Amino acid sequence: MSSINPRIRVVGAIAALATIALLASCRGFFVKPTLTAIAVGPVSPTIYVGATDNTVQMFAVGTFNDGSNSSTSVTWSISGTATNGQPNIATISAGGLVTAQNAGTGTVTAASNILPSITGTQPITVSVACTSAPIVSPTSATLTPNSSSQTFTATCNGGQDISAVATWFSSDTATATFSANVLTAVEGANNDATFYITATANGFTSNKITVSTSGF
């Protein structure tokens, strides 16, 4: 038995070395996953010009070619023109913290630091923190076949224009609908009607504005 044991030990050692060599040779098959897409959150955030609720922390999640998801290193940027004509609606830090500057709408972009051609975007709204109901102008309107659209404006806090960031509502969408702050008669409605519209911002809703259609 004593003559067999050394042989067993030698065979075992050879097998162990062979296993280690095999594992080492296979390491090349375990390729690091490749980034294929970036998702940016939170979804469609709204922040406000002023001292409160004026920031939002953005984040980026990468999707890889093996189906996995995880955080990934990105470079942040933000674009958008304010309603008052200023070039910046907000600033964004290297860590993705957005700080409101001027009311308007824009886009936050995250570009991969590994593969810069891969980007993710998210729309963002910067609004005025209204402390009272918006004021809508004009205070009435009539839509006709020759003038089937009407542009409304909304202001708050002593005249700050929030037309582009307010939520516009038509009580009769079968007759007329909004695109941003422009109300347009629905083609083929073929009826004279009276209804109302409102503008809402920061939880405050304007008075009801009467709108009529005529001649359709």
Range 154-168 burial, b when 16+ CB lie within 10 A, else e: bbbbeebbbbbbbeb
Residue 103 and residue 128 in contact, taking contact as beta carbons nearer than 8 Å: yes
Instruction: Of 152, 166, 150, give the one whose Cα is nearest residue 199.
Output: 166
pLDDT of res. 158: 84
pLDDT of res. 22: 52
What's the whole-model pTM score?
A: 0.62
Cα four-point dihedral sign 120, 125, 78, 71: negative
pLDDT digit string (tens) for 105-153?
A: 999 999 999 999 999 999 999 988 888 999 999 999 999 998 999 999 9
Q: How far apart are CA 37 and CA 169, in angstroms?
A: 36
Residue 126 and residue 44 in contact, taking contact as beta carbons nearer than 8 Å: no
CA distances from 183 to 120, 138, 186 (A): 32, 12, 9
pLDDT of res. 69: 94
pLDDT of res. 9: 60
Two tokens, residue 185: 């008669």
pLDDT of res. 160: 83
Instruction: Of 123, 131, 161, give the one whose Cα is nearest residue 46.
Output: 123
Q: What single-letter DSSP state applies at residue 144?
A: B
pLDDT of res. 1: 45
pLDDT in tens, the chain (216 residues): 444 565 566 555 555 555 555 554 544 456 789 999 999 999 999 998 877 789 999 999 999 999 999 999 999 999 998 877 888 999 999 999 999 999 889 999 999 999 999 999 999 999 888 889 999 999 999 999 989 999 999 999 888 888 988 999 999 999 999 999 999 999 887 678 999 999 998 889 999 999 999 988
pLDDT digit string (tens) for 61-72?
A: 999 999 999 999
Q: How far apart are CA 90 and CA 78, in angstroms?
A: 7
Two tokens, residue 207: 């008075």
Q: How far apart are CA 28 and CA 6, in angstroms?
A: 35
Cis peptide before 138 (omega within 30 of 0): yes
pLDDT of res. 81: 82
